[in-house]
Amino acid sequence: MTTLALTGDSIIQRRLLSKTDPEVTPLYDLIRQADAAFTNLEVLPNDYRGDPALDSGGSHFGAPSWILDELVEAGFNLFATATNHSLDYSISGLEYALDQLDDRKLCHAGCGRNLEEARRVSYFTTPSATIGMVACASTFARGQQASRQTHAMQGRPGLNPLRVENIYQVLPEQLEQIKKIALDLGIEQLRRLDIDLGFGYEAPADVFPFNGMNFRAGDYPKYLQQANKQDLQEILLWVEEARRMSDIVLVSIHTHEIGEREEDPAELMTEFAYAAIDAGADVIVGHGPHVLRGLEIYKQKPIFHGLGNFIGQNELVQRLPADSYDWFRVDQSLTPGALYQQRTKDDLIGFPASPRYWQTVLPVCEFHDHELISLTIHPVSLGLGEARHRRGRPRLASGETASAILDHFSALSQPFGTKLVRNGETCHLAKSPTRYVSNGNLAYVQL
């Protein structure tokens, strides 16, 4: 048997005190008890070195490199690095961060010094199983994706991309209006000129490009997000390799794309997750939008559409470049803490204004070979309501808070046909009705 603990985004800036703080220790003890534990590294452990990028992931998430040691002490040994913050300090900052990970001999996936390295599987071996991990991101700025090497030129360092092809479906009469606007403004003429000069390409026959957006006619308006086929096939190639060379295959995707609500995954996520499982993945871990999303079971494999924040210390970034001050339109004389305080209007907007960004779950999966035997869901609170420098520290939730988190996660999972059964202050998903007994009460869900 092999146990695998899973978390979402770790935005870590301070010491965790995972072995000495009695408030957080029980949670980290659960993580340390697992054979392997995964987290998404949402910050760049670069000691603030590198060149600050103009396009950050929303805020420049540099961090001291010792945060890696804190996470290792907390029990983590699987790190996804492909996020919209991977190149907050450009290529030089990413390369420094990769050196910090490699110097510590940590298992990490999702970024590399060229495209193949970013796409490759990273392996972690325990006494009971070898875990193969593939990580990618669908949310990133242009130029942050790694590029391939050729026989003549080196590749570009960056993240493992799953590019998104966006289609805006509109009514036929709306499409005619868009075409007229493009002609009246001269945008279409400039697009045609680029094609004539060899700098552009014809669009598919059913698509009309307008100012970087692709429109097509349909029966009803709809925003469609589809995975780039080349990226998808290249990622699946490495998922197949992981299946070939390990016992358990974990696939991580950092995606901010949304469905009808922020808690709903985009069709892109479902398309990718199904394809990855068909290629051999045993568990899909989604993260990125900083809110919980539901659990889906596909071919008896778990898909976590979004695990939200695990460590939420995004307000504690100690150094910010000038571009951050310009982006948030604040005075350059403000300290970083004062900048974030002004950004949230003293907690009236943004993450501090909503509990949903401060609640998550810790799933612990139990596998036999690569078959999921059981799954336990632990509710986790990040301490909203505490002082700014204290909140963001995860701890096991209890009482009414635990009930609210588990009820919320269960409700998010129900549209996928997933039923979670409460058992005290956890939920369980199991194949066998003899698997879990707590206080004499049986709790299970048949897959």
Dihedral sign from CA coordinates of 264, 265, 271, 275: negative
Whether 100 and 45 have beta carbons less than 8 Å apart is answered as: yes
Report the alpha-carbon distance of residue 181 to residue 192 in Å, rounded: 15
Express each pLDDT in 164-179 by its tens digit.
999 999 999 999 999 9
| Band (424; pLDDT cuts 50, 70, 90) | confident
Residue 341: enclosing H or E segment and its boundaries? helix 336-343
Q: What is the pLDDT of residues 385-411, one digit of tens each?
A: 999 999 999 999 999 999 999 999 999
Q: How far apart are CA 422 and CA 343, in angstroms?
A: 39
Closest CA to 210 of 167, 255, 254, 267: 167
Greatest CA separation found in the chain? 76
Q: Residue 70: CB partners within 8 Å, gap ≥ 6? A: 12, 15, 16, 18
Q: Which domains does the chain possess?
A: 2-148+231-442 (3.60.21.10), 165-225 (no CATH)
Q: For position 380, what pLDDT does the model report?
A: 98
**Cα–Cα distances in Å, from 330 out to 28, 52, 315, 327, 341?**
37, 18, 15, 8, 11
pLDDT for position 372: 95
Closest CA to 162 of 135, 129, 133: 135
Which of the four pLDDT bands, split at 50, 70 and 90, describes residue 446? very low
pTM (predicted TM-score) = 0.93
| CA atoms of 102 and 400, how far apart (whole Å) | 42
- Candidate from 194-203, 340-349, 438-447 with smallest mean pLDDT: 438-447
Rounded mean pLDDT of the chain?
94
Closest CA to 117 of 143, 149, 150: 149
Tell me the per-residue pLDDT of 24-59, one tens digit each, with 9 for 90 and over. Answer: 999 999 999 999 999 999 999 999 999 999 989 889
pLDDT value at 440 more than 60? no
In this prediction, residue 76 carries a pLDDT of 98
